[in-house]
Amino acid sequence: MRLQLLKERLENRQISFYFGAIAAAAAAAELVPGTTALQPGINSALAAMLFVTFLQIPLAELRLVFRKGRFIAALLTTNFVVIPLLVAGLTQFLPPDPLIRLGVLLVLLTPCIDYVVTFAHIGKADARLLLATTPVLLILQMILLPVFLGLLLGFEATNILQIGPFISAFVWLIAMPLLLAALLQAWAARSPAGAQTIAVLGLFPVPMTALVLFLVVASMLPQLGAASAAALQAAPIYVAFAIVAPLLGWLTARIFRLDAPTGRAVAFSAGTRNSLVVLPLAFAVPGAVPILPAIIITQTLIELVSELIYVRFIARLGNSGVIAAKS
């Protein structure tokens, strides 16, 4: 019970932790020489963060999600049809630099699978149903991301991307943590010790996310240089996305006649992206540092501020009963 209470407190204050980690990293980069040496630790921290995040996903309950057919249809239509069309339109306002375009596409084409659940809960959405769908979102985005990149970048994508580093990053930083999480969940289903282990590890997603943000900002900030200009060029696109995406998610939910809580879940999913999960893929791109990480972290900062607005605005959607049918 104490572990659950502590976990809820961490989750409810996670934005403060994240901005605190970013501020501490900026101070360290300014005051402490050699923070660029922290960069090799980023992938290890990312793998650990993803492992403890995946542990919170009810992988064994995945089959139950498909009983909510209308919700699944709305969620997938939003994230893999509506949002890619929005992103395709927004990227027309980016400069022709393929590296900037790649950074924006990497982060905006991938729906969030971690802290979106907490924000959805605070914003009176059906967070449990959204949590149960995260394995579907993760698998589909990793399958479809190369397809979308090829369509939106064309031949530029083949000149920038090398499949080997991408496969390596996916296997060691995403697939392996997911597999280990599934094995530990299977153990927990049969053993009280396993269940207790997962309960303890459930305290770590927020601190590990804060650690990743600290390492990325502290190691990247001294290298920014030209990357700051690239990040500033991407920022207006992120702001426009943060405004339009949740509204499109809500409208899609209305088309599928979802009830208000599940409609809000679709809206939250539409507006929240998988920035830290795709970060290892960005590091796998030759010559990507520091431009791609800077572009991705810029989206994270804008998104965290947006979430403060979402939990107030999205929570009011449907209160008038405009969505009456249940999924």
Q: Mind listing the pLDDT tens digit for each residue in 49-100?
A: 888 888 877 776 666 667 788 999 999 999 999 999 999 999 999 998 888 9
Q: Mind listing the pLDDT tens digit for each residue in 17-52?
A: 988 998 999 999 989 988 888 988 888 888 898 888
**Average pLDDT of span 102-111:** 94
Name the percent of the chain lying above pLDDT 90.
42
pLDDT over 80 at 157, yes or no: no
Closest by Cα among 49, 53, 144 to 106: 144
What pLDDT does 321 receive?
45
Q: Which has more confidence, 15 or 254?
A: 254
Tell me if 249 sits within 8 A of 267, measured CB to CB. yes
From residue 292, how far is each of 37, 116, 174, 254 by CA, in Å? 18, 23, 19, 36
What pLDDT does 301 receive?
86
Residue 104 and residue 298: Cα distance in Å, rounded?
10
Q: Which has more confidence, 146 or 193?
A: 193
The structure tokens 């804060």 sit at: 210
Tell me if 11 sits within 8 A of 206, measured CB to CB. yes
Q: Which pTM was predicted? A: 0.84
pLDDT over 80 at 284, yes or no: no
What pLDDT does 4 receive?
85
Name the percent of the chain lying above pLDDT 70.
90
Residue 184 and residue 193: Cα distance in Å, rounded?
11
**Average pLDDT of span 252-280:** 92
Name which of 55-69, 106-120, 212-226, 260-274 the model is least confident about.
55-69
Structure tokens at 304: 């965290």
What pLDDT does 162 receive?
65
pLDDT over 80 at 166, yes or no: no
What pLDDT does 163 receive?
67
**Buried b / exposed e across 24-50, counting CB within 10 Å, b at 16+?**
ebeebbeeeeebbebbeebbebbbebb
**Average pLDDT of span 277-290:** 80
Tell me if 212 sits within 8 A of 49, measured CB to CB. yes
Q: Which has more confidence, 201 or 69?
A: 201
Residue 14 and residue 204: Cα distance in Å, rounded?
11
Bridge partner list, 273 = 111
* H-type alpha helices, the chain: 2-12, 14-31, 42-55, 62-65, 69-77, 83-90, 98-108, 116-122, 127-132, 134-153, 155-160, 163-170, 176-190, 192-201, 205-220, 226-255, 260-271, 275-283, 291-313
What pLDDT does 326 receive?
43
What pLDDT does 64 receive?
64
Q: What are residue 290's phi and psi, to 5 degrees?
A: -100, 5
pLDDT over 70 at 109, yes or no: yes
**pLDDT mean across residues, the chain:** 86
Q: Does domain 2-316 correspond to CATH entry 3.40.50.170?
A: no
